Each structure stands twice: as structure tokens, then as C-alpha cells.
Structure 1
Amino acid sequence: MTTMGAEMEWQLLADKALRGECLTLEAGHAVLEANDDELLLLMHAAFKVRKHFYSKKVKLNMIINAKSGLCPEDCGYCSQSIVSTAPVKKYPLLDKDTLLSGAREAIARKAGTYCIVASGKGPTDKELDQVADAVREIRKTMPLKICACLGILRDDQARRLAEAGVHRYNHNLNTSKANYPAITTTHTFEQRIETVEKVKAHGMSPCSGVIIGMGETNQEIVEMAYALRELDADSIPINFLNSIPGTPLQHAGRTPSTKALKVLALFRFICPSKEIRVAGGREISLRTLQPLSLFAANSLFVGDYLTTTGQDIPADHQMIEDLGFEIEQNAL
């Protein structure tokens, strides 16, 4: 295909996305299998869609690992799981003052959304009350949006979080339905969907994403994007597997930089109006091509992740400035 032909092909996909039409499976495959020589043309087409909905603004998010380790789940990617031998810190849910201190740090990092994340299959009522108490205080005193990620929820727990003022709840699908049994056996794909639906029913914004690089096929990557479009997730974190020693997926390797960019473009085309967040593992997979990710994604995490380190915060701020983009604060 000529350069002009490739440019027209990707621009047609962008126009289709802007009209609200969903890409076909074949078109999704084409994005993921695009020749690397066409990568800049593909990212330019994704940027056309991203710019339409989000201009040149970038949303920043900060995670606090509010409870570490001590998890009975067997998720193959996670250093905190019961099957992991990775040397991670283990501690119960952080107290209110520490959670409030984390919120102040989020503001210092220019993050508009503060993400309270706890390991485990789901919160106890005591843990949920602790989080709700901290959220109420943050809402009173700080200009932040609050996202909680506490695992599988009962209906009454979702209601209580919403009443406390949680804006958004994260519960990732992580992988495709077909690949799920190869990644975890202690809960199901359907349970993930059910929790996101409970979140939506109680008025919280649904956040749900994926981890790329866990043995899924290209078709399954497209199916993940379809599933999140169907779920109507407002925010979609795209993680790239960080193969942590001591986890079952320690030898899975990294997603190549060009493949990672194609995945981000795919999700922008299939979920055009949604917040696409380049998330965990971006430093490992994208490496020096991280700036290009923001031509498809409009959001990222600043600072460290749950048990792994992120890029230096000033470097992220500088990257955004050098692109001519703008940090959007206090945005959900």
C-alpha cells in the first residue's frame, strides 16, 4: 500500500469512529497488524479522534496502594497474589491520616484524580467504612476526584461508596473472556462485569481496562475493546504487563513499543469518546516512545504504581509540556 493509501485507510477509520460506528473485527486486526512504516499515520488518525473529544488536554491520576499483599486471589500477573513469591510489602488498610496525606500528594503532582487501591478479592465492611470516612474528608477539604478500587463489591457496598462521595470505581476486565481461566481461577470474567454494573447502578463512573501481554491473541485484544465499549466504561486504563519475578507470568516478556502504540490507537477508535489512560507498564513497553502514546491516550498515572516504580514525575510533566499539551486538573 502507498503512503497516501495508508493515510486514507487510517483516516477513514478515524472518521468512522467520530460518527459513532464501531470498527469491524477485520479493521481491528488491521490496526494491530499495521506495518510499522505506517505507525505515524496511524497515530495521527487516532489523534484526530482524541483531539475531537479531549483537545490537547491530559488528565493525571495518582495511585495509593492502600492495602498491600495479603491477597487470596491467584492472578498470574500480580505480585500481591497468593501464588506470588515476589518480595512485596504486606500491610493492612492504611489509616485515615495516611490516605489524606496521599490525597495532598496527588494535588502536588498536579493529578486531578486520586485512586485508592486495595488488594484482596473484595473489601470487608470495616475496610469499606475506613475508605468511606477518608473519602468524605477529602471531598470536604480538597479539589480532587476520588476513584476507588477495592475488588468485587456487594450491592450495598457500592451504594455506601457512592453515598460517601466516590466519583469513580475501577474494576478492570484485565483480559479476554476466553483467556481468563489462564490468568486467574479464583473469580470469573462475569463477576468483573457484575461489579462494574453495580457501580453504574449506584451512579459512580465506571472505570475498567485491560492488561496487554498475557498471552492473548490480536483477536482477543479487539474483543476486549468491544467488551469495554459494550460495558460503557467511562475510563479505560490500558496496562502493559510488567513481568515481575516471582509471579506466574514472570517470563512473559514485554509488549514491543510499536505494538503498544497500535493497541492504544485501536482502543481510541473503538471507544472514541472515552478516557483512554496509558497505565501500568508504559515505561517498560513504550520506553522512549512514551510521548507518542498521548496522541491516542488522554490520561496517565503519575508516580509509582502498586508495587512497581513509574517514571519520574517531573519527566511526565515535561513530556506533556514538550508535546504542546496541557495538564487538566480536577477532572474526572
Structure 2
Amino acid sequence: MTLANQLKWEKLADKALAGEKLSMEEGLSVLNAPDEELLLLLHASFRVRYHYFGKKVKLNMIINAKSGLCSEDCGYCSQSAVSEAPVEKYSLLRKEDLIEGAKTARARKAGTYCIVASGRGPTRRELNEVIDAVKEIKEKYPLKICTCLGIVSDEQAKQLKEAGVDRYNHNLNTSATNYGNIATTHTYQDRVDTVQTVKIAGISPCSGCIIGMGETKEQVVEMAYSLRELDADSIPVNFLNAIPGTPLQGMKELNPRYCLKVLALFRFICAQKEIRVSGGREVNLRQLQPLSLYPANSLFVGDYLTTEGQESNLDLQMIEDMGFEVEEATHE
């Protein structure tokens, strides 16, 4: 490795810090970076992360508020209509259960608590239940509340905002050019429109992707471009955990080094945004999980929707061992 190799990645960091967008060629160079230069690449991405977030790590926790019973055919999802995965199926949890989940999130030092419900979109009853729970949670705990309820209308978004919802998650999941290979019961544009709807309502948009679903490297760069253009405040980067019984079962395209390069790419392209290492990090990053904190500034703690996550105490220990610090929630 030469000084020229190091300067190549530092120049991308300089470009990101100047607010400039990487070219497709530059983006691909990150994804194609030689493994021998991985630490140089991570150092450059850390410069950008440190500039905007220091050594703080945001923690997020999700609750699977409604499981299965979904009409959509998303190929990656164990809860979809086409999934044969043996997941637990239940209707929306009681308000008391949602509030108890917030208590757990607080105990795990999470700053954001995300209420996730399967389905194309919420029914009136489901929306009202979530709204009632959010109001009570906001009174009790200094948590940011994120909801993920599928496609919502302008009026539903306004109701969520009035209830105190801080953030709404609706992932793009993959690139526009790959979307038809992943789902057919709704479109990529439906997802973009939903993100725009919650933005107009005054809710902070959370939107990200799933890496490892047969997309090309060019399409990975396109995803980062799209999320930059959407101006999503929080970007969860998931890595496919191909659950048996789903259409994408058996797909295994990723290795830990490539996952780190993807995170570096998103940091360079969406420099000022919360980049969160999300679903599939344990099975895809494996022993390299700690290095993800150099480009990313956010993690999920606890379990995911239908799969188990790493124990929270191990996440906290990892953060401490790496010399980072949890950004705890406080009442504003």
C-alpha cells in the first residue's frame, strides 16, 4: 500500500465533507476497494462520521407490534403473504404491551423506539391504537418514537404527527431498477411517495435499504443516491438474512468486508445522516461488527422483527471497547 492509495480514500472523505456527491465511478471504487485497503477506507469514512457525530452512537429498538398477516409479497420478508417461514402471527399488540416495550427500550439505553406493524398499511383501529400508545409513551419516557406501519395517507401522517410521532420508517429496500425482482404487490414509487407524505406532515423520514438481494454494485450506489435525494434523516442499512421459507432463502452474496465497504459508501454519499447498521449485521458482519462503528453512528439493540439480535449487553460492551459512547435520550 502506498501513500497514493491512502490519499485516494481521503479525497473521497474531503469531497463528502464539502457536500459534494460521489460519482458513480467513485462509488464503485469504494465497493470494489481491495481488502488490503479496507482499514484505509474505514479511516476515511470515520473522518466524515467524526466530523458530524463525534464518537456518539445512537441506539434504536424495535417492537414487532403486529406479526405476519400481510398481503404483500416482498421476497425477503418472513411475514409476507408468500413466505412459508414458521413465524408467529398475531394482530396488533395491546397498548399496554407497546408501552412496556418502550420501558424496555429505555432500559437498554435506546434513544429511539420503533413500533413496527406488518401489512400494506394501518386500519383505522390499528392507527388509533398506535396513536393512543404513542401519546402515553411520550408522557412517560424521553424517547424518540418511530412508527413503521406501511403506506399511509396524508391524513394518517398528520394524525401520527399530532400524536407525537417523531420519525416514520419506510424503506426503499432496493433500487428502482431492481424493485420488480423483490416485490410486485406495490411499487418502488409507492415507497417514495410514502416517504414524501410523512415529510410533508412534518415527521422525520427514516428510509434505508437491504443489501444482498441480487442487486448489482451499480444499483447499490443508486440506492445511496436515491436516499440522498429523498433527504432521509435516518438510513438503516440492512444486510439480507435469507430466512428459510422466504423466496430469497439460500441467497448468500455477502461477506463482512463487503458489508463494511457498503457502510463506508453510504457515509460518503449521505455524509450528514444517521447511518444505522441494521438487520442481518450479526450474521453478515460477524466478527467484524465493531468496525462498523467507524462509518456508522447508529445500531439496533435487541431483537429484530422475527429474528434474534445480539444481546444488548454485548452491544454496549462493543461500543465501550471501541472507545465510543452511547448517545442517551433526554427530554427536550
TM-score using structure 2 length: 0.99
Query: Do residues 329 (structure 1) and 322 (structure 2) align?
Result: no
Q: Match of 2:92, as an amino acid?
A: L
Structure 1 CA distance, aligned partners of 2:78 and 2:246?
A: 6
Query: Do residues 157 (structure 1) and 156 (structure 2) align?
Result: yes
Q: Match of 2:265, as an amino acid?
A: L
Give matches, 1:239-258, under 5 Å. Answer: 239-258=238-257
Aligned to 2:137: 138
Mark the runs of 5 or more structure 1 residues left unpaired by the alignment: none
Aligned to 2:311: 312
Aligned to 2:200: 201
Aligned to 2:297: 298
Are the equivalent residues in 2 in contact too, given 1:254–1:284 (CA < 8 A)? no
What's the secondary structure of 2:320's corresponding residue?
A: helix
Are the equivalent residues in 2 in contact too, given 1:79–1:246 (CA < 8 A)? yes
How many equivalent residue pairs?
Answer: 331
Give matches, 1:159-308, under 5 Å. Answer: 159-308=158-307
1:99-139 superposed Cα distances (whole Å, 9 cap, x missing partner): 00000000010101000000000001110010000000011
Query: Do residues 16 (structure 1) and 15 (structure 2) align?
Result: yes
Query: Do residues 63 (structure 1) and 62 (structure 2) align?
Result: yes
Aligned to 1:92: 91
Structure 1 segments, 4+ long, off by >3 Å, are none
> How far off is 1:259 after superposition?
0.4
Structure 2 CA distance, aligned partners of 1:6 and 1:88?
A: 47
Q: Match of 1:313, as an amino acid?
A: S
1:179-212 superposed Cα distances (whole Å, 9 cap, x missing partner): 1000000000000000000100011000000000
| Identical-pair percentage | 66
Q: Match of 1:49, as an amino acid?
A: V
> How far off is 1:24 after superposition?
0.2
Are the equivalent residues in 2 in contact too, given 1:121–1:152 (CA < 8 A)? yes
What's the secondary structure of 2:113's corresponding residue?
A: strand
Structure 2 CA distance, aligned partners of 1:72 and 1:190?
A: 18
Structure 2 CA distance, aligned partners of 1:85 and 1:294?
A: 35
What's the secondary structure of 1:9's corresponding residue?
A: helix
Which deviates further from its counterpart, 250-259 or 282-291? 250-259
What's the secondary structure of 1:29's corresponding residue?
A: helix
Structure 2 CA distance, aligned partners of 1:120 and 1:26?
A: 38
Are the equivalent residues in 2 in contact too, given 1:118–1:150 (CA < 8 A)? yes
> How far off is 1:322 after superposition?
0.3
Q: Match of 2:125, as an amino acid?
A: K
Aligned to 1:27: 26
Aligned to 2:45: 46
What's the secondary structure of 2:142's corresponding residue?
A: coil
Q: Match of 2:290, as an amino acid?
A: P
Structure 1 CA distance, aligned partners of 2:74 and 2:57?
A: 31
> How far off is 1:254 after superposition?
4.7
Give matches, 1:116-135, under 5 Å. Answer: 116-135=115-134
Structure 1 CA distance, aligned partners of 2:2 and 2:317?
A: 32
1:148-195 superposed Cα distances (whole Å, 9 cap, x missing partner): 000000110000000000000000000000110000000000000000
Are the equivalent residues in 2 in contact too, given 1:3–1:38 (CA < 8 A)? no
Structure 1 CA distance, aligned partners of 2:34 and 2:134?
A: 47
Structure 2 CA distance, aligned partners of 1:260 and 1:103?
A: 30
Are the equivalent residues in 2 in contact too, given 1:243–1:254 (CA < 8 A)? no
> How far off is 1:3 after superposition?
2.6
Mark the runs of 5 or more structure 2 residues left unpaired by the alignment: none
Are the equivalent residues in 2 in contact too, given 1:242–1:254 (CA < 8 A)? no
Aligned to 1:110: 109
Q: Over aligned residue pairs, what C-alpha RMSD do you find?
A: 0.9
Q: Match of 2:131, as an amino acid?
A: A
Structure 1 CA distance, aligned partners of 2:67 and 2:140?
A: 26
Q: Match of 1:112, as an amino acid?
A: G
Structure 2 CA distance, aligned partners of 1:254 and 1:3?
A: 30
TM-score using structure 1 length: 0.99
Aligned to 2:147: 148
Are the equivalent residues in 2 in contact too, given 1:113–1:146 (CA < 8 A)? yes
Q: Match of 1:126, as an amino acid?
A: R
Q: Match of 1:151, as an amino acid?
A: G
